[in-house]
């Protein structure tokens, strides 16, 4: 028995499913998860002494690679002054100014502790600002586990959401409408049906929680127009894309201005942080200056802010990183696409800059329904084949691969060889 297997045996007795977040489970693979002991640059090391090239990157924040020296040092330095005060600090002002002065659609920002909190709070702000109740989300987009967003996704539009989780009362999802990703007409139909009662349309500008599904040309622009026509807000959930596609996230990358934006993990460089921000007249409604209540004892925690601020400054001052990530993405994911074509396999490789997924289906993957046509048994075999070859992927078809600047050309070549081998074994 490996140490990971031993730990998993203990873990399942005391932690539901043996993991503190279901995405870590290897349930779909039928194995014990690899328990990670440490990480450095593009590698993670498990408790059995195996080294893997890591494409999870803590689900995004390790955009500069694991254990980046300047970030580590800023955290150690912050710790010397104490871990938390629950009071206002200078660094919170600095990081807020830094972001607002550099991202044109963010006039004001509020720090929270997770992506879930960021989205939940942004939606409350949108409802408070517009005085409307309904929201439109897209099937296959994930926005955290707050009640009103845990809506089951059907194959078409749904005017009233059905909870996707036990423990969520019907009343919590009845105002959540579900549209089809990459289909702006489905949004228009819902907006008409709601007769002016939609507070916001929320979207992952690049779908990354049904596997990676990039927006079709014109889709996001049309969403902006529809929101303007129907007097509702456009929220970009940039928990994955913020500071990754560009410093200004997907909004900058695609040239669309959202009214509100939500950030997550990247803004804390791996510490538990989230944030939401946007137009001043909306953010002015947040407590204590306005009637929309939102709070958090540890929000803006000084250690988390130190990590995040160091990373944000580094990213802004080295914006060539975004070209580098785009080029690495082209090399790795474009290379994977070529392997698939050379082998005559009917699979789909979707990618946008540093984010990608391979889907084991012969259909174009453009929304949740087409993503779900992927053969999950083939995914599990591919995943195991990659792990055997020293490559650590997310253990689910419906997650993304994350490249960092620490993935060197040599590592990318090794990964392509592993992909060739793993696909050959299927």
Binding site for ligand PMP (CB under 6 A): 59, 114-116, 119, 142-144, 204, 209, 237, 239-240, 264-265, 274
**Based on CB atoms, which residue is closest to ligand PMP, 142 or 359?**
142
Dig out the tokens for 418 from the structure.
């592993």
By C-beta, is 92 or 204 nearer to ligand PMP?
204
Determine which one of 132, 134, 265, 328 is catalytic: 265
Contacts (Cβ under 8 Å, ≥6 apart) of 240: 59, 60, 204, 206, 208, 209, 264, 355, 400
User: Is the Cβ of residue 4 or residue 182 nearer to ligand PMP in the bound state?
Assistant: 182
Q: Please state the closest distance from residue 274 (CB atom) to ligand PMP, in A.
A: 6
**Burial (CB count within 10 angstroms: exposed 0-12, middle 13-18, buried 19+), residue 400:** buried
Active site residue 237: yes
CB closer to ligand PMP, 211 vs 385: 211
Min. distance of Cβ 24 from ligand PMP in angstroms? Answer: 11
Catalytic residue among 26, 55, 142, 333: 142
| Active-site entry in 175, 183, 237, 367 | 237
The minimum distance between CB 342 and ligand PMP, in angstroms, equals: 32
Closer to ligand PMP by Cβ: residue 242 or 385: 242
Closest CA to 243 of 217, 231, 261, 260: 261
Query: Closest separation between CB of residue 145 and ligand PMP, Å?
Result: 7
Could you confirm whether 221 is annotated as catalytic?
A: no
From 406, 422, 317, 314, select the one nearest 65 (Cα to Cα). 406
Rounded to a whole number of angstroms, the minimum distance from the CB of residue 87 to ligand PMP is 24
Mark whether 367 is an active-site residue.
Answer: no
* ω into 411 cis (within 30 of 0): no
Least distance to ligand PMP from the beta carbon of 120, Å? Answer: 9
Shorter beta-carbon distance to ligand PMP: residue 64 or 239: 239
Whether the CB-CB separation of 309 and 94 falls below 8 Å is answered with: yes
| Cα separation, 282 vs 284, whole angstroms | 5
Q: Active-site residues: which are they?
A: 142, 237, 265
């Amino acid at each position: 028995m490996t140490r990971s297997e031993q730990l998993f045996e203990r873990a399942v007795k005391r932690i539901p499913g043996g993991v503190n977040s279901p995405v870590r489970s290897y349930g779909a693979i039928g194995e014990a998860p690899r328990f990670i002991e440490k990480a450095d640059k593009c590698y993670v090391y498990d408790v059995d002494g195996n080294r893997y090239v890591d494409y999870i990157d803590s689900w995004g924040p390790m955009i500069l690679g694991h254990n980046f020296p300047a970030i580590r040092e800023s955290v150690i330095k912050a710790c010397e002054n104490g871990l938390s005060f629950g009071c206002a600090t200078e660094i919170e002002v600095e990081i807020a100014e830094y972001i607002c002065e550099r991202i044109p659609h963010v006039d004001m920002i509020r720090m929270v502790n997770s992506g879930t909190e960021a989205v939940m709070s942004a939606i409350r702000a949108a409802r408070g600002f517009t005085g409307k109740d309904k929201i439109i989300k897209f099937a296959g987009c994930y926005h955290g586990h707050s009640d009103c967003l845990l809506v089951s996704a059907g194959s078409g539009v749904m005017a009233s959401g059905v909870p996707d989780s036990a423990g969520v009362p019907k009343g919590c999802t009845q105002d959540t409408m579900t549209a089809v990703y990459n289909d702006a007409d489905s949004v228009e139909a819902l907006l008409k049906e709601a007769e002016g009662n939609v507070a916001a349309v929320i979207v992952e500008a690049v779908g990354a929680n049904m596997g990676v599904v990039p927006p079709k040309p014109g889709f996001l622009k049309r969403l902006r127009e529809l929101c303007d026509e129907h007097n509702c807000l456009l929220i970009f959930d940039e928990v994955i894309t913020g500071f990754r596609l560009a410093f200004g996230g997907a909004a900058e990358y695609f040239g669309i201005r959202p009214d509100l934006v939500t950030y997550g993990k990247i803004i804390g460089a791996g510490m538990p942080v989230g944030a939401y921000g946007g137009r001043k007249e909306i953010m002015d409604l947040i407590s204590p200056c306005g009637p929309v209540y939102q709070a958090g004892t540890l929000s803006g925690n000084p250690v988390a802010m130190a990590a995040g601020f160091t990373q944000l400054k580094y990213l802004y001052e080295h914006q060539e990183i975004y070209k580098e990530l785009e080029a690495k993405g082209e090399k790795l994911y474009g290379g994977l696409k070529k392997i698939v074509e050379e082998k005559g396999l009917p699979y789909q490789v979707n990618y946008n800059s540093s984010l990608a997924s391979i889907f084991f289906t012969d259909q174009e993957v453009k929304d949740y329904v087409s993503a779900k046509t992927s053969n999950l048994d083939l995914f599990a075999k591919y995943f195991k084949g990659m792990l055997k070859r020293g490559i650590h992927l997310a253990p689910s078809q419906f997650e993304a691969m994350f490249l960092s600047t620490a993935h060197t050309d040599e590592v990318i070549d090794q990964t392509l060889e592993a992909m060739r081998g793993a696909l050959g074994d299927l």
